[in-house]
Copies of this chain bind each other. A is one copy, B any other.
């Protein structure tokens, strides 16, 4: 039997979909899941496919993205420890809307579709958690829509840098603890790679951030928040 404690561990986090489940529910999931690992760059799920289960991330980082016109990738959001992948597609009974690719070596639990539904049926609390989760993400998506529609590229870049800083934290030297290329940042901001590079240089010259290679550290977060009109 492989690592039956993972679920209880994941469930500790208040934002986890498994939070607040009783012992039996967690035990049930632990029984039904299997553990899988992915190398950096591996694709967990393909846009358009019909997933046969959901992943719950145990360790690692994953980007979710759709392919727009001419194959350009648009990063929708990131998935980290404790987050689920594929639940949207299974619950709405639609093809996967975004591909999921590992940004670093990643470990996840796989819960087959049938087991997933069984846990939902057996645990109303789990169902409510999922509702809460999807409704929260719906609100986040709305914010992203407003940003893309109304802010200019520099404001959006400032916003994304703040989000990355919050989502992934910083290393010992203060750099945001995520390994993204400028192109990937551009694919979040919704702009050209060169524009991101130019604006990162600008922000550096203005003293709001510092950078070393591809790594970025925020120097003046409150100024960035003001620039991005983020009031949280």
A residues whose Cβ falls under 8 Å from a Cβ of B = 66, 68-69, 72, 74, 76, 87-89, 91-94, 97-98, 120-121, 124, 127-128, 130-132, 134-139, 141-151, 155, 189-190, 229
Are A135's CB and B72's CB within 8 A? no
Are A148's CB and B151's CB within 8 A? no
Q: List 15 A-B contacts (CB under 8 A).
A: A74-B145, A88-B135, A88-B138, A91-B128, A92-B136, A92-B139, A93-B132, A97-B143, A124-B124, A134-B135, A141-B142, A141-B144, A144-B145, A148-B148, A148-B149
Are A149's CB and B97's CB within 8 A? no
Number of copies: 2
> Which B residue sits closest to A133, measured CB to CB?
B92
Nearest CB of B to A192, in Å:
11
A72 partner residues in chain B, CB cutoff 8 A: 150
A151 partner residues in chain B, CB cutoff 8 A: 68-69
Partner pick for A142 among B76, B132, B143, CB 8 A cutoff:
B76
A228 to B150, CA, bound (A): 20
Nearest CB of B to A211, in Å:
23
